[in-house]
A and B are shown apart, each in its own frame.
Chain A
Amino acid sequence: DAKTTQPPSMDCAEGRAANLPCNHSTISGNEYVYWYRQIHSQGPQYIIHGLKNNETNEMASLIITEDRKSSTLILPHATLRDTAVYYCIVRVARGGATNKLIFGTGTLLAVQP
């Protein structure tokens, strides 16, 4: 199972772009990169996912390197409400019968006013 490595914490100024890195050097060719975030004591919130190509939605952009060994989640204009723990997850699938999300410790993003 591919594992991910993220910095434990990052700061970002309000209104600036937040760039959250993730290393997943052992990712397999059919594994997706998922990003979730968890605001204190709430349920994780899905942000975005991708396989090879860069992806963008209303919340964020996901940049995946060509070799797929790392990715960056970009919040273009961070607000105080974006303060949360951000999880980068490589999805594990076993025989199509289960859909495990293995959460690590993530990156605590603190958006500063």
Chain B
Amino acid sequence: ETGVTQTPRHLVMGMTNKKSLKCEQHLGHNAMYWYKQSAKKPLELMFVYNFKEQTENNSVPSRFSPECPNSSHLFLHLHTLQPEDSALYLCASSQDPSIRGTSGGDTQYFGPGTRLTVL
């Protein structure tokens, strides 16, 4: 699927590095999400942005810093990470989640993920 793209697909970084993950959605959605999937664990929601405003921070450490400059782009800035932060980081987007209606129309669509390894 090309609706939600993520770059880079793979990233290896040291604990003192600063890097950023990028997500872009081409679906005309207004909400974007960051999830983390560690080995053998379920996906965990990290952040939610709706119309560029952060609406959810799921107790994520400050070494992860999200940025949403517009409804189509989402970044995750990384600094001084730990080896246990190694995981698959997934971005998703949806329509305005306050829209309920009868169709559940705020279905989330995911990108392919960035496989992050912290040495």
- Docked CA distance A34–B108 (Å): 10
- Docked CA distance A29–B108 (Å): 21
| CB <8 Å contact, A91 and B56 | no
- Tell me what chain A mostly uses at the interface: helix, strand, loop, or mixed: loop
Most buried by B among A30, A32, A43, A100: A43
Interface stretch of the complex, out of A18-26, A67-75, A101-109: A101-109
Instruction: State how many angstroms separate the Cβ of A88 from the closest Cβ of chain B.
Output: 12
Chain A count of residues within 8 A CB distance of the other chain: 25
Instruction: State how many angstroms separate the Cβ of B104 from the closest Cβ of chain A.
Output: 4
Inter-chain contacts of A36 with B (CB < 8 A): 110
* CB-based nearest A residue for B109: A46
| CB <8 Å contact, B112 and A42 | yes
| CB <8 Å contact, A91 and B110 | no
Which residues from chain B sit less than 8 Å from chain A, CB to CB?
1, 4, 6, 31, 33, 42-43, 45, 48, 50, 55-56, 88, 90, 92, 94, 97-98, 100, 102, 104, 106-113, 115
